[in-house]
Amino acid sequence: MQELGHWINGKMVAGTSGRTADVMNPATGEVQAKVALASKAELDAAVADAAKAQVAWGLTNPQKRARVMMAFVGLINRDMEKLAEALSREHGKTIPDAKGDVQRGLEVIEYCIGAPQLLKGEFTDSAGPGIDMYSMRQPLGVAAGITPFNFPAMIPLWKMGPALSCGNAFILKPSERDPSVPLMLAALLKEAGLPDGVLQVVNGDKESVDAILDNDTVQAVGFVGSTPIAQYIYSRGCDNGKRVQCFGGAKNHMIIMPDADMDQAADALIGAGFGAAGERCMAISVAVPVGEETADKLRDKLIPRIEKLKVAPYTAGDDVDYGPVVTAAAKQNILRLIETGVAQGADLVVDSRDFKLQGYEDGFFVGPHLFDRVTTDMDIYKQEIFGPVLSMVRAETYEEALGHAMDHEYGNGTAIFTRDGDTARDFASRINIGMVGINVPIPVPLAYHTFGGWKKSGFGDLNQHGPDAFKFYTRTKTVTSRWPSGLKEGGEFHFKAMD
């Protein structure tokens, strides 16, 4: 059986803690590898080595750092098939979905090639008599990223790319559920020219997370995961004087107005609600049709589309709509919430609780489910299910639909489908949610904008990727400079009056 260790000082090393975690094949339910779980001592040693390596890397000019990112882009494209296959094998995503995971991370690395421009400071000539004033953006030193299972390529790339381009060393603690792709990316960065020790990949669990949060050398921490863990990391990291950004859970609403194209809206909900088995923080899990007639039309469009979804392992071909969820525990939690929805009175229109895939009965597959007449007091509405379950919450008016999205504790993403520009403009202006789609179901910003939610979906002042990332991973230093303007007479300087 394959044993996965850590990436330390430019090479794979075995763990020394004696603790490991199982890496499952979600399609079969079998253990396919063991991954080492680092101790606090291992994490602290990796940080210490990273701090030493960062000194020279931080002094490397931004253009040379950008050239490493440029080479990294080429290597990721070269190995796209290998990365996607490894990702699908451990996570369960289809191959097209896995390639999308890698691609969206790759786009941030492409953005990082612009580091020389993004790191430029400001300059004021003659701020005072003989005085110039300018600012510099300088690296923090050592930063760290704690990343989730659902995007094992994209989010590590979102974190490490800007941090390294800014001149920091970086400690990556990926999910122990699917650790292979982060380790593969580290090896590609070395091949691209990144000096040893500047990137350390330390696999682990809560012990490693706490070690990162308590290590005085680590200056900044980024996290993506559930809201309770996000709040814990944000609080403990801030208490220890670190710069922290944490992104948590979501319950994304899509409002469907009566004038919307119902076929377009239904197709959008299929992809946004069931793609990647619903294991996406930007998945649409709540459809809010406005008016009974709109709701009935939408329901009639959704049912046949959902019933035709193909659920299978990634090895079954590119026509698979989605694969298994990541663990047996995740499957059981999804099925538990579905039972809760039924018990609390929601109408289970598409019921796949008995779904079994022949030959993969031990896999973590969950069939697609559609609830109608869900109310805002139900658990399936309040909680993030993180599975292939779509809920319809009927609203009588636009204002009621808007209120549902605004009143929910999560504020990651939202969307509206309408042909009316005034309604769309009002929605975008008033909604208290970080990312908004207008006839776009999953409004994930491109790499040169920033990604981040509001309310209990995001903690911290700055978002991921885009200009915010370069602000997060640097400190601004402002210099006020004055040079003598007098003539040297008799071995002494005579200065002109400042004012």
pLDDT at 199 over 90: yes
498 falls in which pLDDT band (50, 70, 90)? Answer: very low
Enumerate helices (H) and strands (E) in the chain, giving the number of each: 16, 25
Mean local confidence (pLDDT), 51-61? 98
What pLDDT is recorded for position 288?
98
106 falls in which pLDDT band (50, 70, 90)? Answer: very high
pLDDT at 499 over 50: no
Mean local confidence (pLDDT), 132-143? 96
487 falls in which pLDDT band (50, 70, 90)? Answer: low
Residues 296-332 as b/e (b if ≥16 CB within 10 A, e otherwise) read: ebbbebbeebbeebebbbbeeeeebbbbbbbbeebbe
493 falls in which pLDDT band (50, 70, 90)? Answer: low
427-478 pLDDT, tens per residue? 999 999 999 999 999 999 999 999 999 999 999 999 999 999 999 999 999 9
Delineate the domains of the chain, giving CATH numbers in brackets. Answer: 2-248+457-480 (3.40.605.10), 252-438 (3.40.309.10)
What pLDDT is recorded for position 176?
97
Mean pLDDT of the chain: 95
Mean local confidence (pLDDT), 88-109? 97
Q: Which residues are catalytic?
A: 281
Q: Hey, which bits of 352-446 come out as E strands?
A: 369-372, 389-392, 410-411, 413-417, 435-438
What pLDDT is recorded for position 494?
53
For the chain, what percent of residues have pLDDT higher than 90?
95
For the chain, what percent of residues have pLDDT higher than 70?
97
Phi-psi domain of 197 (left: phi exceeds 0; alpha: psi -120 through 50; beta: other) = left
Handedness of CA 185, 149, 226, 458 (dihedral sign): positive
145-180 pLDDT, tens per residue? 999 999 999 999 999 999 999 999 999 999 999 999
Mean local confidence (pLDDT), 99-113? 98
243-267 pLDDT, tens per residue? 999 999 999 999 999 999 999 999 9
pLDDT at 413 over 60: yes
What pLDDT is recorded for position 490?
54
What pLDDT is recorded for position 318?
83
Number of neighbours of residue 377 by Cβ within 10 angstroms: 9
What pLDDT is recorded for position 39?
98
Number of neighbours of residue 279 by Cβ within 10 angstroms: 25
Q: How many angstroms separate the Cα of 328 from the Cα of each of 31, 331, 334, 382?
A: 12, 5, 10, 23
Mean local confidence (pLDDT), 18-43? 97
Provide the token pair at 201.
């990949």
pLDDT at 26 over 90: yes
Give the pTM: 0.94
pLDDT at 1 over 90: no
Q: What are phi and psi of 116, to 5 degrees?
A: -55, -35
> What's 385's DSSP letter?
-
316-358 pLDDT, tens per residue? 988 999 999 999 999 999 999 999 999 999 999 999 999 999 9
What pLDDT is recorded for position 496?
52
Secondary element (H or E) of residue 112: helix 95-112
